[in-house]
Structure 1
């Protein structure tokens, strides 16, 4: 069924921007244009997907202290288990992004969710399977990283293909805020479940919810969809300095975020043993949700007024520069309320990256945003696993957290400096994607 472009514009004027449409015909397939209710349904589903993704990812860091006591792990052992996730996370980033660019991100998201749901639910069974618990848990985290590595490149691919430029920042921030809600739920409900039902219950419940989400995606959003995209030689984009600046900044931001996610529960547990667990496991991520939305709104506000490059610099300056100013004081002696305030401010400000580098990849390379974002995440994961494991070693050897927080600050400052010098918002894509794609969310 085909409809003329002007007829669709008259019936749904706010649905789509017609700046980009197929160059071969004035007729556009109706199956490519979901109504506004379908667009809202996709956004809600993707928001819930990022929420469950981080619930599953944070299950091990939240349970690490209890599992270390049960299985007699040292800090180095815990660092190996926590770092195993990022080794797997590195491997599937480019593959997942490229597959999303070719066959559609929704299919890749379904495969990802199904895989991580099974691995999460099976983690307690593996832990009690034999005497090699440390090795089995490291393998489980490695497989978890493989299954989740394709998720965010798929989101970047979907957003670049289906969302108009002036609304990507807020949409990506909305979806990214699901990660903070997931971290919040994992920290809050996980603390209660640990006390009442044991650490195994957390893995079982999160695995079940993730599997349910994958089933809903299959039944409601995936059946009957079709996708066809052309091959794009995206590797030659690496000759452009703005691309490398974006990759380096994202790599630094990811690695420091992964370190905080992995070790903050242990930091508060050891530094303030009598503090209430739900406060430091919930409050920072509760603060991050509105902060992410504000960052996305500011990014879109500036872009819609023609100052895209300034919006990128502002967002990344707050995400990496100002946030580090609140991380560095943790190197000294602080009280529990002060530590919570510093972490809330730092975590909240890091969410501004959703309106910065995360959107920049869609502006620079819209035809292969998923694949390039996958490369960025792969590099961030590689450095992240080194930083997470190195942090465990430094804590064990020095018996101090100051070195870790100083290292995080240094990495952030380096990434920000490179992006400010070499970064930019100029499009360096090889093809005009207006000849191949139509934006269909708004």
Structure 2
């Protein structure tokens, strides 16, 4: 007897009942559009809070006398906290609802963002400014770590497979929109009012969105549940919400998803953390708001385009697996190519265009590997994504630090983007050979 197959079977229900249950819990068209808009702005604000430090990095480093290694340590400390709550966030979202976890976490990271300048101003014989900001960044990571697992759980359980790619593409585009707004507006605030005001404004925006999400999450839901669906949703064991961990994480497609996500995170966080510094060093006479904004402009429609391409490929009878692999290869291959070219651009306009293409094409990942847990394990998408994102944080915080170390040792951006491209190649290869989008449980 294969105990893993028996455990998988315990979580299966007849197809007719499964379709009925899924229909009952899915958002209607109005709810889907409303939640897509709200989650877009919440995630945008979350990323604005996250990139406020990189945007203000030059000013903060100058004020406190940091070198690149110090700056890399402070920015990278965010991920030490971020990794700790991924699994918990996904599990709690699957248990009590992603919407509730989202507003509770946003309350915490908004408060931390707002008080970051006050934390930096604290003078203590036991902790210097760098240590205090590192602790603050760790806590910011802890509070933001639950966001994406909760988001994926909420979208996976509330939107059917055929209509999921476009909303996911729109919501995940908000990461770049938030970086864009913080890079543009934040740079203007920085230049005219000081770096502290950037954190104050971002924190207040987060608190406002927290109120909106909480209002929607706690709004009474009127759903009609049939007798059949009630019967079929009763699990046959004493652990109604137990996750078949051993079965799930021994599947090659799950391991391929995790490995590819691991590699893509390395790319994304290098770009989001170090791109402002690249332009500041190579084009010091240019305005910060220009190079902090332009590379992210193309990424917003690109993410939506990725969702549209994915949805239409599926509608035109391409398999979901082929669709996911195609978009992922474009994301990782395109980013590697344009990233490698970027350090050789001596003209500012060409560098902006190349950076924009590098940042934008990686958003195709949002409609490929990022939604893969919803394909493979929709009932446990939050938990699976939480585990993967926790592991994916390892190259993310190490990548940020390694980039600073590479620059200190070689003083060459070419080596940074070569390292990023090599990791992308490994990730794409893994997903091509072992990736899948067929539901396993």
The normalised TM-score by structure 1 is 0.88
Query: Distance between the aligned counterparts of 1:133 and 1:411, measured in 2?
Result: 34
Name the counterpart of 2:333: 321
**How far 1:43 moved relative to its partner?**
1.5
Check whether the contact 1:331–1:406 (CA below 8 A) recurs between aligned residues. Answer: no
Check whether the contact 1:80–1:389 (CA below 8 A) recurs between aligned residues. Answer: yes
Superposition map of 1:91-240 within 5 A: 91-130=84-123, 132-224=128-220, 230-240=241-251
Check whether the contact 2:342–2:351 (CA below 8 A) recurs between aligned residues. Answer: yes
SS of equivalent residue, structure 1 residue 425: coil
Query: In the alignment, which of 300, 312, 325 is matched to residue 289 of structure 1?
Result: 300
Query: Distance between the aligned counterparts of 2:249 and 2:284, measured in 1?
Result: 48
Query: Distance between the aligned counterparts of 1:94 and 1:421, measured in 2?
Result: 27
Tell me the alpha carbon deviations over residues 344-384 of structure 1, each in whole angstroms, 9 at most, x when there is no partner. 11111000011100121111111111011111111111111
Name the counterpart of 1:54: 47
Query: Distance between the aligned counterparts of 1:322 and 1:297, measured in 2?
Result: 18
Tell me the alpha carbon deviations over residues 12-62 of structure 1, each in whole angstroms, 9 at most, x when there is no partner. xxxxx9972239xxxx98xx5765433322121111111101110110000
Check whether the contact 1:97–1:369 (CA below 8 A) recurs between aligned residues. Answer: yes
Query: Distance between the aligned counterparts of 2:325 and 2:206, measured in 1?
Result: 35
Name the counterpart of 2:312: 301
Superposition map of 1:15-94 within 5 A: 20-22=19-21, 36-94=29-87
TM-aligned CA distance change 1:274 to 1:148, over 3 Å: same
Check whether the contact 2:40–2:174 (CA below 8 A) recurs between aligned residues. Answer: yes
Check whether the contact 1:180–1:288 (CA below 8 A) recurs between aligned residues. Answer: yes
Tell me the alpha carbon deviations over residues 386-441 of structure 1, each in whole angstroms, 9 at most, x when there is no partner. 11001111111222211111110111111111111111122222xxxxxxxxxxxx
Query: In the alignment, which of 397, 403, 408 is matched to residue 420 of structure 2?
Result: 408
Tell me the alpha carbon deviations over residues 132-188 of structure 1, each in whole angstroms, 9 at most, x when there is no partner. 100011111111111111111111101111111011111110001111110110000
Query: Distance between the aligned counterparts of 2:260 and 2:345, measured in 1?
Result: 30
SS of equivalent residue, structure 1 residue 239: coil
Check whether the contact 2:165–2:311 (CA below 8 A) recurs between aligned residues. Answer: yes
Name the counterpart of 2:378: 366
Query: Distance between the aligned counterparts of 1:420 and 1:128, measured in 2?
Result: 50
Check whether the contact 2:345–2:351 (CA below 8 A) recurs between aligned residues. Answer: no
Check whether the contact 1:234–1:368 (CA below 8 A) recurs between aligned residues. Answer: no
**How far 1:331 moved relative to its partner?**
3.7
SS of equivalent residue, structure 2 residue 438: coil
**How far 1:222 moved relative to its partner?**
2.1
SS of equivalent residue, structure 1 residue 20: helix
Aligned-residue RMSD, C-alpha:
2.0
**How far 1:234 moved relative to its partner?**
3.1
105-114 vs 228-237, greater mean Cα deviation: 228-237
Structure 1 position 252 matched with structure 2 position 263: yes
Query: Distance between the aligned counterparts of 2:222 and 2:279, measured in 1?
Result: 48
**How far 1:334 moved relative to its partner?**
2.8
**How far 1:333 moved relative to its partner?**
5.3
Check whether the contact 2:26–2:159 (CA below 8 A) recurs between aligned residues. Answer: no
The normalised TM-score by structure 2 is 0.88
Query: Distance between the aligned counterparts of 1:35 and 1:411, measured in 2?
Result: 40
Structure 1 position 265 matched with structure 2 position 276: yes
